[in-house]
Structure formats: structure tokens, C-alpha cells
Amino acid sequence: METTRDAGSDATADAPDDAPEDASVDAMIDAEAGPDAAADGASCGTSGCTASCGMPCGSCHGVTQCDGSCSVATPSTFGQECGSCGGTLQCDGTCSKPAPEDLGAPCGSCGGTTQCDGTCSKTTPTGYGSACGSCGGTIQCDGSCSKAGGAPCGSCGGTVQCDGSCSKPTPPNLGASCGSCGGTIQCDGSCSMTPATYGYSCGSCGGAIDCSGACSVATPRNYGASCGSCGGKTKCDGTCSVSTPSNYGASCGSCGGTVKCDGSCSVATPGNYGQACGSCGGTWQCNGACSVGTPTNFGQNCGGTCGNMGSCGVVGCTFLPNTSTGVGVCEARVTSYSVGVGINNGCGPACFNGTTCDWSSSVGCNPGYSVSSCSVSNPGGKGTCSYDSASGDSVFWHGKVSGCDGTHCSLDSCQCSGAPPPGG
């Protein structure tokens, strides 16, 4: 028995909605065609059937019937776009992606809208609007806290404060070159390598603070301390400001002097030192005086002649030194006599007003006589020169500088007073 049905009938009306597209079409063909349809397929090739009988046809999984028609007609709108969710029309006339009734409607609390799959485009986080953090914030749509304090910020180890600022602002020029020592700008705005006192004067030797914070010219630990034997001070280079001669303090000359700081001898030796002087066998001494003074009445007759030394004691004649006979000095009548001295001393450097120089000189008187007075002159013409006193053969005198020039004093002569020894 042959059964003919309209290919556009509601063969798919009873198919389940969730069945696969291809499976539903096959099922509809198998279910609706009935056993005769299978027979029709099997009878393809019989007289009067088209050559394509039994071949697939259309886009809805139909097969060509004996009369050349397709068992499942393909709708004219098949495959066209449909709905708002990117679907296409199916063989049964439905849309492959039906749009929800509330598509595009607002949803949630974060400004979302309903999507094609029925979900909300912006999910509302669990706890939305509840309190969070330590700054009075609330949970936002992105799950963050509206006032998030404590999070790291900047490049200087800061944290976000409740007002949104960073606890340690990062300088705009952080890391830039600075100073004179190869430093860079730090988080506190300072320069990393340049000391705050860079270039300042330091020490006592003209130094300045360098990049390491040290003084460019070190001051010796003993700077300014006394050194040597000539009043020097230790200098910046460690040497003494006044050098001490290698022979400082050594004996010099013939008058008991020692080498001074300037290399000279503290006591000058007269040029005629040791040479004969006077008429009584004396020699020139260090103080410029003759070791044996010659009386002013030397050689005068004393009223008689004397024999051998010591034989004229009654007469009172004194023989000349180093002689055994001859005319002597009448000491019985001569109780004092003058002795030429001629000692010259300088006093004071220039502009040393008020300097006083005290001298002690030795004057040779004959036995039995001692110095009683002396005559002092001022050949320098500056200041004053004075005789002070005498003791035995020692004479004490001084000079005093006036104005800005030194002066010279001269011990010209001295008076020897006394009497000859008995028998002399």
C-alpha cells in the first residue's frame, strides 16, 4: 500500500525541542514516512521512478521520492538570521538561538543587562555594598574596597592612606644624577653621595670636605706643637717651622760660647784674643780687657832704686811684672790708678724700645788693688749707658735702648784702688 504525505506537513511538530537538529530531522523522516516510505525507497528503480530516487535532497535531511519530490521540504527562510542572539532559522521554522524575554533588561546592582544566555553582563559580587577595609569603604562591583588603605604605593616603600594619598610620596626626579660625587636623588629628596658639608673648610691646613666626608688635607696630630730647640712649631707638612742646627749647643770659640739657633756663637771671641797687651805682661781677654792692667804711673821713679825683688819693701817700690830689678812704681804714694779697658757691647734689635742689657766684665788690677769705679760712654748715640757697681775685678754696667734703634755702650776705663802688698 502506498501512502503519500505533504513534505511540508507538521512531521516535526512532535519532535523534542532539545533534540539535535540532524537527529530530529532523521527522526521525523523515519517516524512520519512510515513503512510505506521505506518501501517507496526500496521501490526506487522501478518503472516510473526518477533516477535520483532515494538520494539525499534539500537542507533538512530529506530523500528524493520516486516522483522526484523531497521527503522533507526546506523552508525558504532556512539559515536566515533570526532573533538578537546571532541565531538562524531552522528546518522547523524555529530560531537556533532564541532570545530571552528580558534580553537587554537591567540586572544586578552593577549596571549589567540580561545576556542571550540569560546571565547578567556584570555579575554583582557577593557582599556588594558591605563594609570593608579600615577606612570606612564598601565592596565595589569589581570586588575591591572603595577606600582601600595599606596597599603598597610609589617607589619609596609607601602605603595608600585613607584619603587616597601615598604615605611616602615619590620625588618626581627620583634616581636622577645630583651633586658633585656621582650621587642620585633619594626618596627624601637628598643626594645619595654628596655630604651635606661637602666643600666646607676643615682642619688647620687649608683642606675642604671631600666626597667621603673626610678632610682633603689632613692636619697633623701634633700641628702647632713646639718642636726643635729654637722655638719652632710643627707645620702642616709635619716639619718644624724653625730648624735646629745640627751642632746646636756645641761649644764654639775660645770664650765659653755655644752654637745658637742662627748658627752663630753665643759669645764672640775677640779678634785679638790672647795677644799681648799693656806693659805688664797681660793678654787680651774674652771681655776685651787686658788680663793685667798697666798703672797710669807705670815706670815713674819712686824716690830711689830697688834691688832684687822684695828688697825694697821699706821704700814701697813694686817691681814691674816678670822683672827682678829695675825702677818700680811708687805704690806707697799711689793708692789708685786708671786702667784703659775699651770693651764695646751692642744692645737691642731695631724697634725694641725699652730693652735693657746688663753686662758683667772683668778688669785686671795689680795685686792689692781692686776696681773702684769705671767710665762708660755711649758711642751708639741711642738710649743710655751706665756704670752700676764693681766687686773685686768684676764690673757691672748696662745699656738701655730708646726709640727704634739699638745702641752701643763702651766701658772705656776703670780706676784701680788699694795699696801694694807688704814688701812689694
Residue 98's pLDDT is: 87
User: What's the DSSP call for residue 166?
Assistant: B
pLDDT tens for 268-292 read 899 999 998 877 778 888 888 887 7
| Cell numbers representing residue 87 in the block | 541565531
410 in any annotated domain: yes
DSSP SS3 for 228: coil
Residue carrying the nine cell digits 776705663:
413
Phi first, then psi: what are they for 285, rounded to 5°? -100, 175
362 in any annotated domain: yes
359 in any annotated domain: yes
Phi first, then psi: what are they for 105, rounded to 5°? -75, 150
Residue 79's pLDDT is: 87
74 in any annotated domain: no
85 in any annotated domain: no
Report yes or no: 66 and 40 within 8 Å, Cβ to Cβ: yes
The C-alpha atoms of residue 154 and residue 241 are separated, in whole angstroms, by 60
Residue 244's pLDDT is: 93
- Of all residues in the chain, the percent with pLDDT exceeding 70 is 75
270 in any annotated domain: no
Residue 33's pLDDT is: 42
In angstroms, the first-to-last Cα distance of the chain is: 207
- At 420, the amino acid letter reads P
Residue 352's pLDDT is: 63
DSSP SS3 for 38: helix
The C-alpha atoms of residue 104 and residue 82 are separated, in whole angstroms, by 16
The domain tally of the chain equals 1
Mean per-residue pLDDT of the chain: 77
Residue 179's pLDDT is: 85
Report yes or no: 424 and 368 within 8 Å, Cβ to Cβ: yes
Q: What is the DSSP string of 262-324?
A: TSSBSSPPPTTTT-EETTTTEEB-TTSSBSSPPPTTTT---SS---STTTTTTTTEEPPTT-S
User: What's the DSSP call for residue 98?
Assistant: P
The C-alpha atoms of residue 370 and residue 420 are separated, in whole angstroms, by 11
DSSP SS3 for 62: strand
The C-alpha atoms of residue 327 and residue 304 are separated, in whole angstroms, by 8
Cα–Cα nearest to 391, from 373, 366, 409: 373
The C-alpha atoms of residue 394 and residue 344 are separated, in whole angstroms, by 16
Integer CA distances (angstroms), 110 to 94, 107, 120, 131, 339, in order? 34, 8, 10, 17, 136
The C-alpha atoms of residue 371 and residue 115 are separated, in whole angstroms, by 145
Burial group, residue 351, by CB count within 10 angstroms (0-12, 13-18, 19+): exposed
Residue 200's pLDDT is: 94
DSSP SS3 for 23: helix
The C-alpha atoms of residue 48 and residue 38 are separated, in whole angstroms, by 17
Residue carrying the nine cell digits 512510515:
34
289 in any annotated domain: yes
Phi first, then psi: what are they for 208, rounded to 5°? -140, 155
Q: Which domain holds residue 346?
A: 276-418
Residue 210's pLDDT is: 93
Q: Report yes or no on whether pTM surpasses 0.95.
A: no
232 in any annotated domain: no
Residue 132's pLDDT is: 86
Residue 369's pLDDT is: 76
Please give the average pLDDT of every successive group of 10 residues along the chain, which has 424 residues. Answer: 35 37 41 39 71 89 89 88 88 88 88 90 89 85 81 89 88 91 91 88 94 92 93 94 93 92 91 85 84 62 40 38 41 59 76 78 78 87 86 86 78 78 40
Half-sphere exposure in the Cβ direction for 102 (13 Å, CA): 10
